[in-house]
Amino acid sequence: MVVSLSSSSTITPITLQPKLKPIHAIGTVNFGCSINSHGTSLRRSAVVVSAITGASGTETADLLETVKVSDLRGNEIPISDLWKDRKAVVAFARHFGCVLCRKRAAYLAEKKDVMDASGVTLVLIGPGSIDQAKTFVEQTKFEGEVYADPNHASYEALKFASGVSVTFTPKAAMKIIESYMEGYRQDWKLSFMKDTVERGGWQQGGILVAGPGKDNISYIRKDKEAGDDPPVEEILKACCA
């Protein structure tokens, strides 16, 4: 049994706007299952608990039970339908204009052939409008499925980190510079849209692996700060091993 838990880092909050309250929701969660003598899964049990929520895979699924996201045609879909009948790697972007999220999308898409070979679907969700999601697809040519979460419901349910102190960090600044040097670009028009500035500008994301089965969430990693990408090998081990 392999147990993986990312360590928490100490972040010193800085106050730029008094109404902003940083939320430090961090950690990596891997969930195992108990097997009877016939090889049948009896129940899921948490191998590692989240550093902030303490939620098991089933409990995490319960938090998402009423959450809906929108596809590019404007259809609302229960988020758990994205992995109900299949396994999926679901990446949660900070917002659709974020340069670091565009790099995340690219580094996951580079392994899409491995995911495809294992029957795993690559999905990206962003906090924003359907139009913003369409612009993201047009600009990045992302080959996975893309969904919008206009109400930020999935981010709130999963308690992803948010705040100035987890957005503007030395590591994030270095990763932005690296991303620009590699050719990635921020979309400033998307970044300064009202809903992004008011709600999503300080939002962090994460990655989960789930399915098949609505309650079958086997891996979840919450970003500690902007650009906190896990090693892609860790994701592939969770989805395709």
Predicted pLDDT at 192: 60
Return the SS3 of 77.
strand
pLDDT in tens, 187-216: 777 766 666 656 556 788 899 999 999 999
Separation of alpha carbons 200 and 208, rounded Å: 19
The beta strand positions in the chain, using DSSP E, are: 27-35, 41-46, 68-70, 76-78, 87-92, 120-126, 145-148, 206-210, 217-222
Position 41 confidence tier, pLDDT thresholds 50, 70, 90: very low
User: Is it the case that residue 72 has pLDDT exceeding 90?
Assistant: yes
Predicted pLDDT at 31: 41
Predicted pLDDT at 58: 76
Position 233 confidence tier, pLDDT thresholds 50, 70, 90: very high
Separation of alpha carbons 162 and 195, rounded Å: 15
Position 141 confidence tier, pLDDT thresholds 50, 70, 90: very high
Predicted pLDDT at 44: 36
User: Is it the case that residue 7 has pLDDT exceeding 50?
Assistant: no
User: In terms of pLDDT, which residue wins out, 35 or 104?
Assistant: 104
Is the bond preceding residue 212 a cis peptide, omega within 30 degrees? Answer: yes
Residue 141: both structure tokens together: 């040519």
User: In terms of pLDDT, which residue wins out, 75 or 12?
Assistant: 75
Predicted pLDDT at 63: 86
- The residue-averaged pLDDT of 118-143 equals 95
User: In terms of pLDDT, which residue wins out, 46 or 140?
Assistant: 140
